[in-house]
């Protein structure tokens, strides 16, 4: 026996093996996501997915779908007690709250971003940005920004998969039938005004072509009929605000693809309502396969994912500007919104200009539903 220690595997080989294993996990994630998207076959399914996403709105739309389908499988297997999750967080994040992931709970795999640092001396020029090396410092006068360059697999666990100190429950909105959340109409109206539109309340639908609400771009006016219950008026106003924020007819990107403007506006309204504990069962959204196929040159599954993320970001922007009592966003109380930053770059960093900007799912505005 020579007594010599066996040679250690070269770091390059270990790195290659890790890359192969990570790619296999990413491939599995994509398959799970495709399954989740394929399950959204009707307008009702889409509405349920959006209502779920509203309660986990700090995470990307794709990640909410991944959490949704994996938790459903865990429930069917008897690993979790409830059909839907309540709070989800990473392993070490639960430890920060003095809770520990229980043995035998594999958690839910989601996408987390891989970011790179880019530098430019002329930030407005999209072609001027160059990626910095791991330890490379920028040149004097250069601006440094981060940009997502890839994705890696990460895991989160529902609170029911952990044990430890109890989670404090924050105040939640409680609404009577037909009642609007306190301050919602005023908050939405303020955002309409901030966008340069005049908000009108008209006595009946006959004054606005039989609709619940309309957005008139030429007159810069939003109108909502007031012969509805307060909750319906607030929902309609959220719908019209979505048109204002998303469907400017002067935006060339908003004209490249037509046909799903009402889907987007109604979807934003649904998420705003769900975030306030409003009943979303009456929200009417056309059959998914119909509107998703209206975007030329795009696979319907891609349209569903892109539309969901576009809707989520618009709804999130509206919700952040509202001073209202809202349901939780899926982040355990005590962690704050930083708990979701593992899957998306910091909002404090300005984005790098795109070389060829294209709309995710451009649309045009229409009458309010």
User: What is the tens place of the pLDDT at every residue in 20-39?
Assistant: 888 888 899 999 999 899 98
E strands, the chain, are 88-89, 99-101, 108-120, 130-131, 143-158, 162-164, 198-202, 213-216, 221-225
Least confident of 149-163, 251-265, 298-312, 346-360: 346-360
Domain range enclosing 100: 15-160+177-343
pLDDT in the model for residue 353: 58
- Nearest alpha-carbon partner for 217 in 254, 263, 250, 260: 250
For residue 357, the model assigns a pLDDT of: 39
Average pLDDT value for the chain: 86
**Does residue 366 belong to any structural domain of this protein?**
no
Examine residue 362 and state whether it is found in any structural domain, yes or no: no
The predicted structure's pLDDT at residue 354: 55
Q: What is the pLDDT of residue 8?
A: 54
Q: Highest mean pLDDT: which of 5-9, 137-141, 193-197, 341-345?
A: 193-197
Rounded to the nearest 10°, the torsion over CA 333, 336, 338, 339 is 0
Rounded percentage of the chain residues whose pLDDT exceeds 90: 62
Q: Which bin fits 158, alpha (ψ -120 to 50), beta or left (φ > 0)?
A: beta
pLDDT of residue 183: 96
Q: Is residue 168 part of a domain?
A: no
| End-to-end alpha carbon distance in the chain | 83
pLDDT given at position 269: 96
Q: What is the DSSP string of 225-274?
A: ESSS-HHHHHHHHHHHHHHHHH--TT-GGGGSS-S-HHHHHHHHHHHHHH
259 domain-assigned: yes
Q: Report pLDDT for 233.
A: 95
Mean per-residue pLDDT, 179-187: 95
Determine the pLDDT at residue 255.
60
CB atoms within 10 A of CB 152: 14
Q: How confident is the model at residue 311 (pLDDT cuts 50, 70, 90)?
A: very high
* Residue 285 confidence (pLDDT) above 80: yes
Confidence at residue 250, expressed as pLDDT on a 0 to 100 scale: 83
Decide if pLDDT at 365 tops 60.
no
Lowest-pLDDT choice from 3-12, 158-167, 275-284: 3-12
Among the listed ranges 4-8, 72-76, 191-195, 203-207, which one has the minimum average pLDDT value? 4-8
Domain-embedded: residue 359: no
**Structural domain contains residue 350:** no
Tell me the pLDDT band of 159, cut-offs 50, 70 and 90.
very high
Judge whether 229 and 214 are in contact, CB under 8 Å: no
**Into how many domains does the chain fold?**
1
pLDDT tens column, 51-82: 999 999 999 999 999 999 999 999 999 999 99
Q: Are 114 and 137 in contact (CB under 8 A)?
A: no
Q: Which of 175 and 345 is assigned the larger pLDDT?
A: 175
At residue 10, the pLDDT reads: 61
- Beta-carbon contacts of 153 under 8 Å, excluding residues fewer than 6 positions away, are 22, 25, 26, 29, 109, 110, 111, 112
- Tell whether 139 is covered by a domain: yes
Task: Answer whether residue 165 shows pLDDT above 90.
Answer: yes
Whether residue 146 is contained in a domain is answered as yes
């Amino acid at each position: 026996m020579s007594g010599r220690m066996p040679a250690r595997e070269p770091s390059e080989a270990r790195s290659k093996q890790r890359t192969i294993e990570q790619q296999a996990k990413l491939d599995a994630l994509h398959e799970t996501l495709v399954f989740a998207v394929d399950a959204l076959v009707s307008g009702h399914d889409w509405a349920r997915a959006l209502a779920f996403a509203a309660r986990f709105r700090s995470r990307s739309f794709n990640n909410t779908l991944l959490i949704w389908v994996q938790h459903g499988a865990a429930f069917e297997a008897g690993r979790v007690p409830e059909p839907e999750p309540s709070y989800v967080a990473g392993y070490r994040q639960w430890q920060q709250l003095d809770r520990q992931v229980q043995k035998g709970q594999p958690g839910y795999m989601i996408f987390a971003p891989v970011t790179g640092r880019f530098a430019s001396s002329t930030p407005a020029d999209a072609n001027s940005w160059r990626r910095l090396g791991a330890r490379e410092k920028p040149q004097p006068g250069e601006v440094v920004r981060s940009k997502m360059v890839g994705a890696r697999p990460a895991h989160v666990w529902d609170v029911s998969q952990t044990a430890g100190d109890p989670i404090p429950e924050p105040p939640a909105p409680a609404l009577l039938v037909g009642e609007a959340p306190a301050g919602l109409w005023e908050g939405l109206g303020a955002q309409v005004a901030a966008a340069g539109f005049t908000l009108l309340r008209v006595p009946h639908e006959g004054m606005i072509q039989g609709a619940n609400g309309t957005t008139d771009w030429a007159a810069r006016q939003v109108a909502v009929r007031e012969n509805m219950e307060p909750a319906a008026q607030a929902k309609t106003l959220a719908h019209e605000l979505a048109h204002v924020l998303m469907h400017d007819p002067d935006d060339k990107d908003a004209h490249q693809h037509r046909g799903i403007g009402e889907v987007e506006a109604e979807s934003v309204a649904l998420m705003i309502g769900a975030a306030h504990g409003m009943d979303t069962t009456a929200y009417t959204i056309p059959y998914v396969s119909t509107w998703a196929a209206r975007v030329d040159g795009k696979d319907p599954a891609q349209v569903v994912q892109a539309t969901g993320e576009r809707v989520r970001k618009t709804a999130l922007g509206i919700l952040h500007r509202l001073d209202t009592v809202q349901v939780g966003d899926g982040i355990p109380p005590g962690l704050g919104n930083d708990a979701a930053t593992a899957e998306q770059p910091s909002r404090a960093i300005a984005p790098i200009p795109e070389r060829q900007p294209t709309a995710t799912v451009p649309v045009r505005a229409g009458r309010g539903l």
